Structures are given as C-alpha cells and as structure tokens.
Chain A
Amino acid sequence: MGLLDRLDNPYDTGGIVLGTLEDILNWGRSKSDWYLHFGLACCAIEFMSMNASHFDFMRFGIIPRATPRQADFIMITGTVTLKMAERIKLLWEQMAEPKYCISVGSCANSGGPYWQYGYHVLKGVDRIIPVHVYVPGCPPRPEAMEEGMMKLQSLIDQQAIFRKRKKLAEEEELLQIKQR
C-alpha cells in the first residue's frame, strides 16, 4: 500500500489519508478492474480454473463483464487466428478508455508452437492491439496469470493521469501556435 506507508501513524488521528488525487484515483482503479469475459483456446481452460475455488481470481476485485463497453481490461487467452483477429480488434476498439490488455500464453505472445507452419495463426496479438503485460507459458499456470494481474495493477498504480493531460494540453497549444 503505497499511500499508507507514507504516514507514520495512519490510524491514530481518525484515519486521515494523505496523498495526491492521482494516487488515490489510481489506487481505486487498480483494485477494481473489470475484465471482458472472453476465452480463446487452451489457456482459457486454465483461466477457468483460476476463476474457480483454488485460485479465486475475484479477490483482486475483478468481475467478469459480458460486454466490452464495461470492461477495463481484456485477457487474450489463447491462439489468435486471422479470422478471429479482426474480432479482437473490434472488441478492443469497443472498450472505453482507459483500457489494458494482458496477453496470456505463448500463442498470444508470439504465435507459440504455431509460429512456423501455422498459416492461419496471427504471430502475436501485439501486431493488432497494444499489449501491456505478457504472461509466458503454454499454457501458463494460474499462478502465473495472477502474477500478470499483479503486474498490471502496479502498472496502473504508477500511471500519470493529470500530468499527462497537462502535458498534452501544452503540446496542443504549441501546435496551435505553430499553425498560426
């Protein structure tokens, strides 16, 4: 907990938490990610067992959503074929910002065992959509997927929201000045 560590005695004076607004927003965002309920191939079976009793994915504050419009991140669990690739692109574009992508398994990372002779297999999902976290394995263990999730959470924790916007606004102003 990055926020609480900064205080010497957080609970002594009635539970006041100090931090930047960005930190608090990121903390909330990273602990309540909703994912798109979506599976492709073998890794989806491990993904199912991660959702079940032994690994309990939902303790990360994660809820499956059936529609991409409500989802914060998508897990590409399995082989992406060329026929499926345009659908994945469509799903990704339907998701609202900010959005993240975890690529699970060798097939989604690079084509995996189908790299050489798979004429109908996309060689890595990062060729069509941006990927934030890669989880290796064929298929990865559920623990590995959870590690990938934790990596995504720490990535969201450090993300810049306002600074980025300010920077963008400055750039836009500069652009407008140049155009004049």
Chain B
Amino acid sequence: MTTTKFVDIDFSKIDSDRMRLNVGPQHPSTHGVLRLEVELDGEVVTNVIPHIGYLHRCFEKIAENMNYQQVIPYIDRMDYISSMNNELPYVMAVEKLLGIKVPEKVEYIRVIMCELNRIANHQIAIATFGLDAGAFTPFLYLFRDREYILWIFEKATGGRLLFNYFWVGGLANDVYPTFKEDVLNIVKQVRKTNKEIEELLIYNKIFIDRTANVGILPADVAINYGCSGPVLRGSGVPFDLRKAEPYSIYDRFDFEIPVGKGEVGTVGDCWDRNIVRMREMEQSCRIIEQAIEQMPDTGDVQSAIPKKVRPPKGEIYFRCENPKGELGFYVVSDGKDKPYRVKGRAPSFVNLSVLPEISRGYLFADLIVILGSIDIVLGEIDR
C-alpha cells in the first residue's frame, strides 16, 4: 500500500517565470568573446551578469619579464583597435620616470597619429553599432574610409593594426615626405563620409526608434561607476582628459568636448553615446588640421631615445584619453631594466560594469544595442 506524502511548498519562493540564457562566448553580436548570463522575464531583461576572462593574455605577467621597450608591443595588443592611443600613456609614463623631454616634432606626430587612430576607432564603433541595430550599409562606407587611414599608418610605421611606433623618448622612424598631404586628404574624406553617415544612419527614423530612450545612463550613475570616455560624455558630463588635465601638447589646440544633450530622446541613451563618437571625429579632424599646420618640418625624431631605459626607483600613474575612455598605466620601477610591475586601468572594463545597471527592464533585443553603444574591446577588458 502506498502512502501519499505531503510536502509543504512555499510557492512565493519559487521563481518559475525567469529564464536564464547564455549569450556568448561565441555569438555574432557580443563584440568578441564576452559571455553574458541573461536573466529574462518573458522577453524583458531582469538581470545581466557579464563573464569575462576568455581573452586573458597575461599582460601584467609578461610585462614583468620584458624590458621597458619590449612591453610596448604587448600594450598594442591590449586595445587592438586603437593601438597608438594605447602606447601613448605608457610611453609618457616611462619618459616621466626617466625625466626625458621629447622633441617638438615627436609630440606633433604623436598627436596626429593618436587622433587618426581615434577616428579609425570611432568608425569601427559606429559601424558595428549600426550592424547591431540592423544597418549594414554604413559598415561598408566606414570601413572603406578606415582603410585609407590604415594605409597612412602602414606607410609611416609598417603595420596596419599593431604598430610599435611610439618608443620611449621618440618614434620608431620619421614620417614619410608626403605625410601631410595624405593626412589632409583623409580629413576631407572623413568629413564627407560623416555627412553621408548622418543621413544614412544617425538621423534615420528606424535607427532613432531603435536607440533613443534605450539604455538610459544618468550622469550620477555614470560617475559612481567610474565610467569615462563617450559613455560618460553621452550622459552630459563634459569630462575629457585632453581638456581637464592636458598632457602632451593638447593645450595648444582649439577643440570642443561634445556631450549628449538628449536631442531625440533622453540624455544618456544609446543614441547620445553614438552621437558623441560621431562629433568627436569632427573634433579630431580639427585637432589634426591645427597640428599639421604647426608641425615643424625638421627635427630628429630619435634624438631623445636613451641608450638604456633604466628608470630610478619610483612609481607613476599616467593617464590619457583613449577613444574608449581613461586609459592609465601604473608603472613601478625598482631601478632595474625591467619594470617591477605594470598595471593597466582599462576603460572598457570599467564601462562594461555599468551594463547590468542600464539594461534592466529593457527587451532582449535592446540589450544587444546597449552593449554595442558601450563599445567594448575584450582584449582590454581581460588584458
């Protein structure tokens, strides 16, 4: 004879409506090998847990085993979309430890290269953001222009993507003779294409419907999470390290900080973050034009390179404005030719941490758009 057992179940504690979904690490829209654990209530996102570490390439351990100059190629590979901008803070940190002052011409070439790379980075960001929202044509236009910028890099440095161009105290080599004309042509081309993109993508009704009022990040939340770059400026905070604490020669140029104003939706939505990138490209063009005008023609780019890089005991934190935000390097020297420790403060890592906060309550399809609007690079997050 069987007996029936009664078990008391507290139905209020059972959460049967939620579904857990894995997005990634292999997924067409996660921008690399990011894995998102998404908790869904129907189609509404209730929680997102990012899992990282699929591209951990041991940068900090490698930096302990390399000379100061040998670390630079690994820094290229951190944020591989904007390598020039990555090299700058590290190189300037070591120069500051050593007490080197680099020649004028080097400073100008560095600024021009960094701003060109910023344009290239934002072109990828906007192109892939358009892809996430379902627009394929702007991707082709922007990548066509990006290729012209890469040709300049290739002519000047020898590399298309990863350069190892900025050395401690100078540059790997001087720029080629027709550099100035090529760069000015690029600026013209970028402006022309940006106008087309504004018609094709930015002010397209479908795109606005997809991105406006989605993923709203209020300014106070952005500051509390430590966001920087276009993510912070999209929320209406005019903070740019190039203006706030001008490094290199950025205090000589006249440019503005574009911020999100909520033109088509609320301040801090995905559309605002995207338009900040769009307008930053124009500002970069302005900086490039001024730098080309002021750049001295003569000068040895390798005159200040030290024979042996052996900084005195000490530590330094130097930060620069990466296209993605504030990139800082904390370098500790113990007086030997290898750094005791190099720590990178990656903007993408910090910006990603705000994703669960801003994607709660939106649809699953919006989560992909929100992730695209943050513009992350996994090489920098995992290092």
| Chain A interfacial positions (CB closer than 8 Å to B) | 36-42, 44-46, 48-49, 52-54, 64, 66, 68, 78-79, 81, 83-84, 87, 91, 113-114, 116-121, 138-139, 141
Contacts and interface: CB of A to CB of B under 8 A. Distances in A.
A120 B146 contact: no
B162 A42 contact: yes
A120 B62 contact: no
B246 to A, nearest CB: 30
A147 B367 CA distance: 37
A49 B146 CA distance: 9
Given A37-B28, A45-B124, A117 B55 contact: no
Contacts of A68: 26
A88 to B, nearest CB: 8
B313 to A, nearest CB: 24
A117 B62 CA distance: 6
Interface of B: 25-28, 32-33, 53-58, 61-62, 65, 73-74, 77, 80-81, 124, 139-141, 143-144, 146-147, 150, 160-162, 378-379
A38 to B, nearest CB: 5
B57 A54 contact: no
- Top 4 nearest A-B pairs (CB, nearest first) are A52-B143, A42-B80, A53-B144, A117-B62
Contacts of A66: 27-28
A118 B74 CA distance: 11
Nearest to B53: A83
Contacts of B161: 42, 45-46, 139
Nearest to B154: A141
B32 A83 contact: no
Contact of A138 (B33, B147, B162): B162
B161 to A, nearest CB: 6
Contacts of A52: 139-140, 143-144, 147
Nearest to B51: A83
Nearest to B379: A41
A78 B162 CA distance: 13
Nearest to B144: A53
B140 A84 contact: no
Given A49-B143, A54-B144, A119-B61, 12 more contacts: A42-B77, A42-B162, A45-B161, A52-B139, A54-B143, A84-B25, A113-B74, A113-B77, A117-B61, A118-B57, A118-B61, A141-B160
Contacts of B378: 41
B55 to A, nearest CB: 6
A54 B147 contact: yes
Contacts of A113: 73-74, 77
A84 B65 contact: no
Nearest to B128: A48
25 contacts: A40-B33, A41-B57, A41-B80, A41-B378, A41-B379, A42-B77, A42-B379, A45-B81, A45-B161, A46-B161, A49-B143, A52-B143, A54-B143, A54-B144, A64-B28, A66-B28, A79-B57, A84-B55, A87-B25, A114-B57, A117-B58, A117-B62, A121-B58, A138-B162, A141-B160
A45 B144 contact: no
A139 B160 CA distance: 8
A84 B73 CA distance: 23
B196 to A, nearest CB: 14
Contacts of A139: 160-162
Contacts of B139: 52
Given A40-B32, A54-B147, A139-B162, A120 B74 contact: no
Nearest to B76: A42
Contacts of B28: 37, 64, 66
Contacts of B160: 46, 139, 141
B69 to A, nearest CB: 14
A20 B161 CA distance: 45
Contact of A121 (B27, B57, B80, B140): B57
Contacts of A48: 124, 143
Given A52-B140, A83-B56, A113-B73, A39 B32 contact: yes
A37 B26 CA distance: 8
A64 B25 CA distance: 17
Contacts of B140: 52-53
B137 to A, nearest CB: 10
Nearest to A117: B62
Contacts of B61: 117-119
